[in-house]
Amino acid sequence: MIPPRLRDATTDLGLRGAPLLVYVYLLHELDPVEHRPLKILPVATILHLKEVTTWRAIRRLVDNRYLEQGPVDGRIRTYRLVWSAPGTRDSQAVFTCPK
């Protein structure tokens, strides 16, 4: 099942370049249920971006509700994927596993 927010991200004109690249990468690193710690430097290194560019991309993803920032774990921020936009019919979507 494709997350509804991924469909939104691919058509969101305000989400191009680094934010979209970071989001696609984070789809494989983060979880839609639990908050997970996220270090900026490894993400920036893997995607060949500057740390500041990566940080700004993550802030934009949080501001646009593609990611949700959770509690700080020591000095590391935690995030989770937002499955769908609040108030949409997909917001009640149930996670399904392929058989």
pLDDT at 88 over 60: no
* Count of domains forming the chain: 1
73 domain residue, yes or no: yes
96 domain residue, yes or no: no
35 domain residue, yes or no: yes
> Containing domain of residue 34, as a range?
4-86
CB contact set of 61 (below 8 Å; sequence gap of 6+) = 15, 19, 22, 23, 26, 67
Confidence band of 5 (pLDDT split at 50, 70, 90): confident
Looking at residue 56, its pLDDT comes to 96
Residue 22 corresponds to which tokens in the numbers above? 């970071």
pLDDT at 4 over 80: no
When pLDDT is averaged across residues 27-46 and rounded to a whole number, the result is 93
pLDDT at 10 over 80: no
Q: 41-72, pLDDT tens digit by residue? A: 999 999 999 999 999 999 999 999 999 999 99
Confidence band of 2 (pLDDT split at 50, 70, 90): low
Looking at residue 50, its pLDDT comes to 97
Looking at residue 25, its pLDDT comes to 94
CATH code assigned at 51: 1.10.10.10
95 domain residue, yes or no: no
Q: What is the pTM of this model?
A: 0.79
Specify the DSSP element, H or E, that contains 43: helix 40-47
92 domain residue, yes or no: no
Write the DSSP symbol of residue 73. Answer: B
Among residues 5, 33, 25, the alpha carbon closest in space to that of 91 is found at 5
68 domain residue, yes or no: yes
